[in-house]
Chain A
Amino acid sequence: MNQRIIQAYRQAPWRVQLQWIGLFLLILVVGMLIAGVYLYVSGRAAETGARIKSLEMEREGLAIRIADMRTQLALLNSSQVMLERAEKLGFRPAQREDLVYLPVEGISVREVVFLAPPPAAIQRENKLLRPAYTQSLWDLLYQSAYQFMNTRGGQRP
């Protein structure tokens, strides 16, 4: 009797096999999906990394070019070159007798050059790469959780 009940409820062997195959395929598909996502993310990260490296090299090159251009500009505006250009244009250095002094209201004396802001100006930290490019998944989760914990109940002033 007992044997009969078991037989009545037992899965047919082909169904058990199908279930196992199904389970195996499910795991396989999930695994492939994870692997696919991982590959995609890795590929994107590698591509971005290569791009960042290339941009950083470009930035270095541009910094060098800027310094070079500044010097080239100074060469074109150098004292000797400017004197020669002025003479070619028919000018001559002003003499004391050539000058006429006129009082002009509101004119101020020439100030010494300011090539950068004075110390009082606010300094901002200028990070080139956003944290998202360098932090791990764990860092992201931890940081998000930390922010969530800190902002619960309203933003801090």
Chain B
Amino acid sequence: MNGGIGRMRLIGAVFVLLSAAIVYQMVRIQNSEHSRQLVEMFAKTYNQQVRVIIPERGNIYDRWGNLLAGNKEVYEVGIAPQQVINPETVARDLAAVLEVDYYDTLRKAESYRKEGNERYEVIKDFVPAEKIRMLEEKVNAYEQAEKPKKGPAPSLVGVFWRPHLIRSYPENELAANVLGFYNYLDRWTGRGMLGLEEQYNNLLAGNKQQVILPMNPTEIQEIPEIPPGASLITSLDRDIQAAMERIIDQAVEANGAESGTLVVMDPKTGEILAMATTPHFNPNEYWRYGEVFPLGSYFNRAISQLYEPGSVFKVLTMAAAIDAGAVQPETPFVDVGAIEVGGIWIYNWDRGAWGPQDMVGCMQHSLNVCLAWVAQELGPTRFYKYLQDFGIGRYTGIDLAGEQVYPLSLPGDTNWYPVNLGTNSFGQGVAVTPIQMITAIAAMANDGKMMAPHVVKAYIQDGVQYAVNPRVIRQVVKPDTARTITDMLAASLENEASNALVEGYRIAGKTGTAEIPGPGGYTSMTNASFVGWGPVDDPKFIVYVWLEKPTSSPWGSVVAAPVFSQAVEELVVLMKIPPDEIRQQLASP
């Protein structure tokens, strides 16, 4: 009996010792340096996932909510080599659907078996959704197919696809010169280039955020909701933009011009309703930028290309002189065909003498001699003070990337000569951009108040829409002066039965023809322009047309004025502006 108990105790002791040994070993292994490193490695590799969350890039809309720039779903397709069952099927199907190299894909699919590669291999990025549907169909077909008796079954196990967004411009070329583009092929470092995309890149992009997410499902952590980038609502009107692009394209072609620019602005707010320039560019294929815009050419001529504007500049000279009281519309002037300014003789565009004129006649016949005399009457101090107030030589501050400016030469500057007073008065020897000109002249259509030109009308951030209010740059001339200039220019168009006139609407406007300087002085090539606004009693639009180097005729009155008229014909329809007579009838009680 005692012997039995003794054996039992011995066995018990053995088990206790064994258990103790196991526990000891467990504790020892658990606390060993190697174990600690292993746990750390696993924790680092598998316990948490580091993700960079890129917020959806904000959309860009026109003023009515039509999408001009949005985002499109594409996929990144890759292989997890250690999960691949049938490398041949993977390589064959991916090569067929994604149009990738079969042998390269096969090498990647077999890399785990042959080299022990466990790294995820990207096969192709930016794959359209249609291709992914094709892959999904193949996956379903393989799952439903019967397994072959010999060899591995065809399978796409180990192939993964992950969606992400890329920039997309549903209107293609429409307003591309205003929108700019986003270089989405640089997926992690892409940024907005030119136009609105560059100007508002930070706002559109939102804030990237890096988050560390636990892989352990019991450690639930909410993925922070990263708000999308801000969306922009522009002042552009899609239909007006499309119409203006069509008109300027036709004008460039019909007149054999090198380029064309057509800007439509609301003079009372400074909102840009349309900004059309040539050549066009499809921002969905931004990598072709160099083909469309070779070195030295301009993406958006309306804000970037400086040129001598010619006689459209006379509007500013005359406005300054009338505002300062130097002349009145009825002030007489006898044009003898030439005037000496700073020791240099200045002539009219036709080298003719137009005899007795008043200021309306001077503007109507676009007499350089008369305007040079007006500038002299005004004097250089006041003349250049007005030009600076009109923003000549200064940035307009339009909210588009790439605005250029050329400094205005002022009396006392080394590059200013007394003759500049004469030549500047009719828009030669001074370089401006179309946006500078339309901004300055728009003051005439807004009781002398110059409004800051802008394209963004509102923006949406964190689900709230914020309005961008119009901003007055300054009261550059008195309201009476602005109305006087408007009446003078309306009368001058009517007197000469201009090509710019639109039946039923009273329009004010001015042509411009400027010779283009070359290496040896002025050439025979011209810049033909027209600026006009209307209806004169309540201006709703101002339109600036510029054709560069037209070959059909050098004159703004011949090539640019009809383009203006055509633009206004469409504008009054699209903006639903009734003819003056009907509008006045509707307005009267």
Contact = CB atoms under 8 A, between A and B. Distances in A.
A112 interface: yes
Given A49-B220, A71-B168, A78-B172, A116 B464 contact: yes
B148 interface: no
Given A70-B70, A119-B465, 17 more contacts: A45-B217, A49-B217, A60-B223, A67-B73, A72-B72, A74-B66, A74-B170, A79-B66, A79-B171, A79-B238, A80-B172, A96-B503, A110-B64, A112-B63, A112-B233, A128-B225, A129-B222
B222 A113 contact: no
A103 B578 CA distance: 11
B466 interface: yes
A6 interface: no
A52 B223 CA distance: 10
Nearest to B222: A129
19 contacts: A49-B217, A52-B220, A56-B222, A56-B223, A64-B164, A67-B56, A67-B73, A68-B165, A74-B70, A96-B503, A112-B64, A112-B233, A116-B463, A117-B464, A119-B464, A119-B466, A123-B464, A127-B222, A134-B220
Nearest to B586: A103
A63 B231 CA distance: 15
Contacts of B163: 61, 64
A17 B65 CA distance: 85
B238 A49 contact: no
B318 to A, nearest CB: 31
Contacts of B569: 95-96
Contacts, number: 132
B152 interface: no
B239 interface: yes
Interface residues of B, number: 52
Interface in B299-330: none
B218 interface: yes
A46 interface: yes
A133 B217 CA distance: 11
Interface string B436-476: 00000000000000000000011010111111000000000
A116 B459 CA distance: 9
A115 interface: yes
Contacts of B578: 99, 101
Contacts of A110: 64
A114 interface: yes
A132 B465 CA distance: 34
Interface in B159-180: 163-165, 168, 170-172, 174
A79 B458 contact: no
B167 to A, nearest CB: 10
A53 B573 CA distance: 54
Given A45-B218, A71-B72, A80-B171, A115 B460 contact: yes
B61 interface: yes
Contacts of A116: 460, 463-465
A134 B221 contact: yes
Interface string A110-153: 10111111110101001111000110000000000000000000
A155 to B, nearest CB: 29
A118 B171 contact: no
A77 interface: yes
Contact of B464 (A47, A95, A121): A121
B67 interface: yes
A9 B464 CA distance: 85
Contact of A68 (B61, B64, B129): B129
A43 to B, nearest CB: 9
B573 A94 contact: yes
B364 interface: no
B519 to A, nearest CB: 43
Contacts of A50: 217
A42 interface: yes
A65 interface: yes
Contacts of A19: none
Nearest to A110: B64
A103 B589 CA distance: 11
Contact of A128 (B222, B238, B463): B222
B64 A113 contact: yes
A45 B220 contact: yes
Nearest to A76: B170
B504 interface: yes
Given A96-B569, A101-B586, A115-B65, A71 B170 contact: yes
A54 to B, nearest CB: 10
Contacts of A65: 73
Contacts of B67: 70-71, 73-74
Interface in A1-57: 42, 45-50, 52-53, 56
Interface string B131-172: 000000000000000000000000000000001110010111
Nearest to B587: A103
B220 A133 contact: yes
Most B C-beta atoms less than 10 A away, residue of A79, A116, A121, A133: A79
Given A49-B220, A50-B217, A117 B465 contact: yes
Nearest to A73: B67
B419 interface: no
Contacts of B72: 67-68, 71-72
Nearest to B53: A60
B127 to A, nearest CB: 13
B217 A46 contact: yes
Nearest to A69: B73
Contact of A70 (B59, B216, B219, B238): B59
A48 B216 CA distance: 12
Contacts of B223: 56, 60
